[in-house]
Amino acid sequence: MPWLSSFKGYLQPRVLLIAGLGVLSGLPLGLLVDPLRYWLSEIGIEKSTIGLLSLVMLSYSLKMFWAPLVDRLRIPFLSAIGQRKSWLLLAQILTFLCILLVGSIDPSKELNLFILFVFGISFFSATQDICVDAMRIELVEKKAIGEASALYIIGYRIGVILLSQVITFYIADSYGWSAAYFSIGGIFIIASLVLILIVPEPERDEKDYISLLKNPDLWFKDSFILPFADLISRYKNHLLLLLGITFTYRLSDMFLGPMAMPFYQEIGFTKIQVAQITNFYGMWMTILGGLFAGLTLHRFGLVKNMIAGAIFVPLANIPFIFLNLIGNDVNFLIFTITVDNFSQGFISVVGITFLSNMVSATYTATQYALLYGLVVIPPNIISSGSGFVAEAYGFQNFFILCALLGIPAIVLTLMVWQKREVFGFD
């Protein structure tokens, strides 16, 4: 049975480990989105400022600039546990410290210092993600990348939603935001140390080591120039089309994201309702969407799923238009979250599989970080102005604009379908 055969791919031991890595990726990120935005909205910070804070996510976009260091630079005293694991451990320790510092500061009194350490969480957890992305690709065979991507998204959503959003909202409701951030920081560092012990250092297609101190010019060329040159040489005239897809595929979804929490708070949903419906229930819808994508990737191939995902994104924004008209209606919020989060899970797995298929085994971390940057840099920059749009034109027009932003990705994925044999995509 084809569908049963597809499901068995999830049970491979190394594929299962990817879920744990996904939890670690999602946990710090979750603290930077819904809880942070609700916290700041609750104490009266302007929507335009909250929208601008989406710029902290640029660390995840710009990680391509220091990914070559993670690929090639060895850390003294830690390199004995492996190139990937040494960088992973260092990034996790620094992320943990920044989480504690954010929880220690009152943003109503020291907003600038608060934002500084929020950026710290973003930067060091993005560095962690460089390692995780590379390990996710290197730990499994290429034919298992779809299943690994699906389990990564499941783990990621458990980390970003259940652990660092649902639990954060519940703790904050009873004990305050500082206690919530301290608690999540503790969970993060314990989980990190456990994963470091059980996840193997991946076998890599690694070039001979070049010392930064002894051969700086050669090291720079090998670490920064050659990974980019490799992408250009492999995709040649079609590279612009592929890059166009990478930075339009989730534009619609990412533009809406920063304003979701201010929208829920403005129309009267409570912290507990947000935690229960948009976070906890939404997490399971995202997991279902991710699992479904993993199965359909195995069954129907990459390009058909890319087209379906590009169509799902703008359609999933339409229920927000009606929720704004209806107002504080729990049942319609559940419907909105069902559609939106299922589509998010689906397109996340498809997008990750697409990027993973584009990278070279020799430059995994650097090339994936580069491509991921192109996925999120333009939307992050554009979405930083989402608060200004919502304030100037209202949520109704804002949600309509979000849906329209999904049209370019549909056009570009149809173009890839026409050239799928050239790219070697199924």
Q: Which of 344, 375, 326, 181 is nearest to 278 (CA)?
A: 344
Secondary structure letter of residue 199 according to DSSP: S
pLDDT at 11: 66
pLDDT at 289: 92
Q: Domain tally for the chain? A: 1
Report the alpha-carbon angle 40-394-58, nearest 5: 50
Q: Which of 340, 247, 291 is nearest to 149 (CA)?
A: 291
pLDDT at 139: 86
What's the CA gap between 240 and 326, in Å, rounded? 42
pLDDT at 258: 84
What's the CA gap between 278 and 182, in Å, rounded? 23
Spell out a b/e string for 175-196, using b for 16 or more CB atoms within 10 Å of the CB, else e: eebbebbbbbbeebbebbeebb
Range of the domain at 46: 2-423
pLDDT at 319: 94
**Tens-digit pLDDT profile for the chain (426 aa)?**
455 555 666 667 778 888 899 999 999 999 998 899 889 888 888 877 887 887 888 888 788 888 888 877 888 888 888 888 999 999 999 999 999 999 999 988 888 899 999 999 999 999 999 999 888 888 877 777 777 888 888 898 889 878 888 899 889 989 999 999 999 999 999 999 999 999 888 876 555 555 555 566 776 777 678 887 888 887 777 778 888 888 788 888 888 888 888 899 888 888 788 888 987 898 889 889 988 988 888 788 888 899 999 999 889 999 999 999 999 899 999 999 999 999 998 998 898 888 888 888 777 878 888 787 777 777 777 877 888 889 899 999 999 999 999 999 999 998 888 776 656 566
* Helices and strands per DSSP (H, E), number in the chain: 23, 0
Q: Which of 292, 254, 238 is nearest to 412 (CA)?
A: 238
Longest dimension (CA), the chain: 66
pLDDT at 104: 93
What's the CA gap between 273 and 264, in Å, rounded? 9
Residue 218: count other Cβ atoms within 10 Å of its Cβ: 12
Residue 314: count other Cβ atoms within 10 Å of its Cβ: 20
384 in Cβ contact with 274 (< 8 Å):
no
Q: Which two tokens stand for residue 162?
A: 């259940």
What's the CA gap between 291 and 286, in Å, rounded? 9
- What residues contact 135, with CB distance under 8 A and at least 6 apart? 21, 84, 88, 199, 202
210 in Cβ contact with 56 (< 8 Å):
no
pLDDT at 216: 67
Q: Which of 224, 242, 160, 171 is nearest to 423 (CA)?
A: 242
Q: CA end-to-end span of the chain, whole Å?
A: 20
What is the value of pTM for the model shown? 0.74
Torsional sign, CA 216, 221, 222, 227: positive
pLDDT at 171: 94
pLDDT at 10: 66
What's the CA gap between 71 and 73, in Å, rounded? 6
| CATH classification at residue 154 | 1.20.1250.20
99 in Cβ contact with 121 (< 8 Å):
yes
Secondary structure letter of residue 328 according to DSSP: S
